[in-house]
Amino acid sequence: MTLLTVVQEKHFANAVASLLSHQLFLSYRAIVEARISSEMMRAFHERNPENTKVIYFDDLDIPEVSKLALYGDSVKSSALYEEYLKHGKIWYIVYQVPNTSYVMGLTRNCVVTSFTRINEYDFLDYIFREIHPLIYESAVK
């Protein structure tokens, strides 16, 4: 598996992937969005629960509800966390990176957002060190 990391807004990143896909493979569908499994998202959050600020859940089995969110200092220790996991999957988390002041957002389709000013080198280094392994591990399972 080869990963293409585009540091830009999502619509621009998708356009770059589409253009490269067509030029390299003569198909707009050869380069696709990366995915992190819901199990890996849960494990990622549970490795650092005290620094998680927000969790969004989707794929819910609750009629007429498409997403649920938990906000606050102790989302993991909340009884609602376990309850929401019974009804859906983690889609998006906002968390503080351990031992840093960086606050990041991460979705299952690998959109990484920094809510803290960070230089591009450190941002990419973080993605290569922490996010790419989640993608690779998700692909294996």
pLDDT at 120: 94
Confirm if 94 and 115 have CB atoms less than 8 A apart.
yes
- For the chain, 141 residues long, give each residue's pLDDT as a single digit of tens: 889 898 898 899 989 999 999 999 999 888 888 999 999 999 999 998 889 999 999 999 999 999 999 998 777 677 889 899 999 999 999 999 999 999 999 999 999 999 999 999 999 999 999 999 999 999 887
In DSSP notation, 38-71 reads HHHHHHHHHHSGGGEEEEEEES--STT---EEEE
Name the residue ranges covered by the structural domains of the chain: 1-32, 33-140
Q: pTM of the entire structure?
A: 0.89
pLDDT at 10: 87
Rg, the chain, Cα only = 16
Going across the sheet that includes 68-71, the strands are 68-71, 52-58, 89-96, 103-107, 112-114
Strand partners, 89: 58
Confirm if 60 and 15 have CB atoms less than 8 A apart.
no
Nearest Cα to 85, choosing from 119, 45, 114?
Answer: 45
pLDDT at 131: 97
CA distance 94 to 76: 13
Residue 121's contacts (CB-CB under 8 Å, 6 or more residues apart) are none
